[in-house]
Amino acid sequence: MNGVGNANAGVGRAASQVHRFLNEVWRLQPLYVSLYAILLSFVVGGVLISIIGVNPFTAYWALLRGMVGGGDQIAGSVARSVPFIGSALALAFAFRAGLFNIGAEGQLLAGGVTAAFVGALSWMSDLPGIVAIPLILIAGTMGGAIWGGIPGVLRAKTGAHEVISTIMLNSLVLFGVRWMVNSRDPVVLRDTDSTVPRTDPISETAVLPELVDSQPTLHVGLFALVGICFVVAFLLNRTTFGFEVGTVGLNPHASHYAGINVNRVIVASMAVSGSFAGLAAASEISGTNGFFQPGTFFLMGFDGIAIALLARTNPVAIIAAALLWGSMLSGAPLMQQEADVSIDVVRIIQAMVLLFVAADAIVRYLFRVRELDQSPFKATSIEGAV
């Protein structure tokens, strides 16, 4: 008994030594608190897997191989993560302006259908790729921006709460695109040669070049979405517009008295937010699918909320969070196939990751991590971290 206690104390002392070293030398506390949170989530998931009579290590080994077990798996995981970057940015950017944009699901659909429409126009095949590809991406971006801008305008002009209007617009666009893609009389966007409801395939010239022939395809859209994260980081931290967005988010009244046009910032932030979701959708249409189907983006906006919050709305951290998210989803089928564990375990682990990252007090208590005085990642308030 005594020995165990001593060993525990010893481990604790050693751990705190390591922590102090990591803090002082590299200021890595936010990183390792997050890593502990991930570890803890897998422990919880492992308990659940053992309850149904499967060895958790077998299941996790299959999951890991599904995620990063080889070149194809890695490429597939990255490809799966790419659109999540856009849907997470859509939430994160609006959040900086104090707006809660839960309309990424709808903005993805609006952007996707616009991109598919423009991509399938007959004259697109006459254009060279260098013109056609930017055109389809811009079309999708605009589609998302318009659908995101509507709740912004409603908020600024009438005070309608963006939570309610984005929920409504999500459903509206879903029914709208379903009609466009399903309807045979009149034919709107449906590919009449296809047995499943989908739009006409986009022109060959508008297809984003492929990087790796994985499942799903890894394409150049990766650079567009990773690049945009750095652009957003620059925009928020180094430009007047970014400053205005952050100020409105922190205190709209003070911003108003300081001479910032609050309504303009609200509309612009919502439109910019929507444009990220639109871009993600366009890159998927152009690089992966080649046509539009409403089911493609199901739950992608919903996951984007979680990813953005996991990254504490930091645009660069979103890349890492999206990678974690996408690769887990991408690896799950192998786990189901080999260990006969339901894919839903991954969703539970994801929820736990978000939980432990947010409630870092639990992690700090379990792993004896002392709180830094000026932690930039303090979990109690996202606004504080901004």
Q: Does 159 bind other proteins (CB under 8 A)?
A: yes
Are 42 and 349 in contact, with CB atoms under 8 Å apart?
yes
Q: Does 155 bind other proteins (CB under 8 A)?
A: yes
Query: Residue 87 and residue 90: Cα distance in Å, rounded?
Result: 5
Interface region with other proteins, contact rule CB under 8 A, candidates 124-132, 148-156, 198-206, 220-228: 148-156
At residue 212, what are phi and psi to the nearest 5 degrees? -135, 140
Query: Residue 88 and residue 309: Cα distance in Å, rounded?
Result: 8
Q: Does 161 bind other proteins (CB under 8 A)?
A: yes
Q: Which of 21, 26, 57, 175 binds other proteins (CB under 8 A)?
A: 175
Neighbours of 339 (CB within 10 A): 19
Q: Does 371 bind other proteins (CB under 8 A)?
A: no
| Helix residue ranges per DSSP H, the chain | 2-26, 29-51, 56-68, 71-96, 104-119, 129-158, 162-182, 221-238, 240-250, 252-257, 262-284, 300-310, 315-339, 344-358, 360-367, 382-385
Which three-class secondary structure state does DSSP give residue 170?
helix
- Is the CB of 153 or the CB of 220 nearer to other proteins? 153
Q: Which of 9, 344, 366, 368 binds other proteins (CB under 8 A)?
A: 344
Q: Which of 8, 17, 182, 237 binds other proteins (CB under 8 A)?
A: 182
Q: Does 38 bind other proteins (CB under 8 A)?
A: no
Q: Does 55 bind other proteins (CB under 8 A)?
A: no
Using CB under 8 A as the criterion, what x/- string covers residues 82-121 for binding other proteins? ---------------xxxx-x-------------------
Are 104 and 304 in contact, with CB atoms under 8 Å apart?
yes
Using CB under 8 A as the criterion, what x/- string covers residues 186-225 for binding other proteins? ----------------------------------------
Q: Does 330 bind other proteins (CB under 8 A)?
A: no
Q: Does 250 bind other proteins (CB under 8 A)?
A: yes
Which positions ≥6 away from 196 have C-beta within 8 Å?
293
The closest of 281, 262, 282 to 270, measured between CA atoms, is 262
In the complex, the residues that contact other proteins under the rule CB under 8 A are 48, 52, 97-100, 102, 154-165, 167-169, 171-172, 175-176, 178-179, 182-183, 248-253, 256, 262-263, 266, 302, 305-306, 309, 342-352, 354-355, 358-359, 361-362, 379-383
